[in-house]
Structure 1
């Protein structure tokens, strides 16, 4: 009963925001325009990586592609600020953005796969099942994107998983609570094929990123996470090799 009361209070508090956003997120024309904008942003990203930032590791090229797919111009701006070899200098804020982007790419994939599989392929309409399944898959994908590279570097599975659990759990948890909570608030009960289902999913992913960013920046600041390598150094190394 207490949980139900809390949920009701939260819904009441955010009712003005929901009333404002739902017509926008359920508009097919705006959703189509957003999809086109996302494709343009991904194209710009790939062009920049191919022409100017080929020195970036394959993993980060994949990460930035997913970030741009999830968040369009917002994701592209984050890449431009913190992920290119041309950045003027590195900083805690840029490292925080790279760390959040890495977490975001895996968690976002888990959310999309979870919702498509549960609400679409399995046609399960239960909000609780959708939330639980999506939450679980976000952890699986989020951990996998850390465990995999660590094992490639020679760590055993147990050690790699322990490292991922220790460093990624706080940011994944905050990201998923806010992203899934936003999605349920805006589109709870929406049909799989409705514009609101997809518009709310796209919007909620970016909300999750924003809330997870300060958590990742703090984890980097206190040495829990490394925050991904400085891309500027990769560019300098590539230039020296070419010389």
Structure 2
């Protein structure tokens, strides 16, 4: 009897990894990019407009990227009826690595781009380097998401709550 209950519990908690298509990885990365881009652009714009230094501006952009990235996932998972605490765990599991990779690449490109860190809001360099850095971050993050989805991690966790 105890073995049977354990087997039922094991079947319930272990989900098979979904097939990880490139289309699924692109969709997951676009979702991640949306939250990251909102936070990144907002943080860079606020910090630059306020005349903050590069470190403070970049830190704000990263914090906001994580906040918006998690918030978008949280919103969808909460709509599925999951409680707040469990939904937060799902959002953290689904998005942490994806957002971290995206932010590392995005901010790394901007940091290495000559004069991009000193560009002002009215400069084409500010917006151009930010846009290109997000595109590069997207391209690098797609294979990361494909790998995670193929192992039942990342956005595969979120898909369990879609109806």
TM above 0.5: yes
1:107–1:142 Cα contact (<8 Å) kept: yes
**Matched length:** 138
Work out the CA distance in 1 between the residues paired with 2:63 and 2:82: 24
- Equivalent residue number for residue 239 of structure 1: none
After TM superposition, the structure 1 = structure 2 runs for residues 57-96 of structure 1, keeping only pairs within 5 Å, are 92-96=21-25
- Equivalent residue number for residue 177 of structure 1: 104
1:217 pairs, out of 136, 140, 146, with 146
In the superposition, the TM-score normalised over structure 2's length comes to: 0.79
- Equivalent residue number for residue 127 of structure 2: 198
1:142: Cα distance to partner? 0.4
- Equivalent residue number for residue 63 of structure 1: none
For the aligned residue pairs, the C-alpha RMSD in angstroms reads 1.7
Long gaps (5+) in structure 2: 1-18
Q: Which runs of 4+ in 1 moved over 4 A?
A: none
1:156: Cα distance to partner? 1.5
SS at match of 2:35: helix
In the superposition, the TM-score normalised over structure 1's length comes to: 0.54
Is 1:147 equivalent to 2:77 in the alignment? Answer: no
2:36–2:69 Cα contact (<8 Å) kept: yes
Work out the CA distance in 2 between the residues paired with 1:202 and 1:147: 25
1:91: Cα distance to partner? 6.1
2:111–2:117 Cα contact (<8 Å) kept: yes
Work out the CA distance in 2 between the residues paired with 1:96 and 1:228: 13
Work out the CA distance in 1 between the residues paired with 2:31 and 2:157: 9
Long gaps (5+) in structure 1: 1-89, 230-243
